[in-house]
Amino acid sequence: DTAVSQTPKYLVTQMGNDKSIKCEQNLGHDTMYWYKQDSKKFLKIMFSYNNKELIINETVPNRFSPKSPDKAHLNLHINSLELGDSAVYFCASSQSGLAGDEQFFGPGTRLTVL
C-alpha cells in the first residue's frame, strides 16, 4: 500500500502554462505538506495544511496555490509557470501539526519547464 502518493511522477510543460500536482495520503494523518527540492538538492517547505486549513505558507510566489478538498488530499496548482519552477516537488504528511513529528514523503514529481 502506498502511504503518500503523487501524480504525475514527471511533468514537462512550457513556460506560461498552468499545471497541477495531486497528492493523497492513506495514513489518516491530520497534516500535509508541500516541499520543493531545487537543482542544488536543497529541500524546503512551501506549504503546510492541518485538517484542510493552511498553517504554514513560506515565501512562495502567489502563482503557487495549494488546495485541500479533504484532509487526505493536498493538491498544488501552479499558474504561469516559469523556468525557475523546474524542480522536484514532494508531498508529505504527519500525524500531528508539529513540524518535528515524523513526516512521510511521497515519491516526488519532477517538474520541467521549457
Indicate left, alpha or beta for 52 from its phi (over 0: left) and psi (-120 to 50: alpha): left
CB 64 within 8 A of CB 78: yes
Measured distance between the N- and C-terminal CA atoms of the chain, rounded to whole angstroms: 34
Q: Is 66 in the site for other proteins (CB under 8 A)?
A: no
Give the total of residues touching other proteins (CB under 8 A).
Answer: 24
Of the pair 15, 98, the CB lying nearest other proteins is at 98
SS3 of 107, please? coil
Q: Does 56 bind other proteins (CB under 8 A)?
A: yes
- 10 contacts other proteins (rule: CB under 8 A): no
Q: Does 92 bind other proteins (CB under 8 A)?
A: yes
Applying CB under 8 A, the residues found at the interface with other proteins are 4, 37, 40-45, 48, 56, 58, 90, 92, 98-108
